[in-house]
Amino acid sequence: MVYRGTVMADHVTEPYLVGVEAIAGELLRGKWCVYLHEWLGDDFDLEGWRELVAAEAERSGVEVCFVQIPRKDMTLVANVRALPSFEQVTESVAALEHYRGLAAGRGWRGAATGRRSAQ
């Protein structure tokens, strides 16, 4: 299972992959994550994935919120104590749509294959 995220800062960095077990740590560092639904594969449904993320976050003491973005087929996951601004979410979604388009043109499921920037 993979996860795509963007960093919370003055700008949004290039998307990178984050494993489910690492999401809580990312959220604790003031980041948020936007997940592409097509990456669920055959092993999980969206609700099952959300339950896994929530359980990992709870073990780490992070209170999370999920915002489904249905027209984009994405879900935002954020730490309720470090919510991104509307502009940051909009920029994140736009970046993911760009990389989604690149990935579709190349015939693979994701544009990034590992974490590129910790910012």
pLDDT digits (tens, 9 = 90+) for 10-58: 556 667 777 788 899 999 998 899 988 887 777 778 898 899 999 999 9
Asked if pLDDT for residue 104 goes beyond 50, the answer is yes
Q: Which of 100, 81, 115 lies closest to 6 in space, CA to CA?
A: 115
Secondary structure E strands in the chain: 4-6, 16-17, 32-36, 64-69, 74-79
- Cα distance between residue 38 and residue 25, in whole Å: 23
Tokens of 42: 């055959």
pTM of the model: 0.74
Q: What letter would DSSP give residue 98?
A: H
What is the model's pLDDT at position 110? 43
- Cα distance between residue 31 and residue 119, in whole Å: 10
Q: What is the identity of the amino acid at 109?
A: R
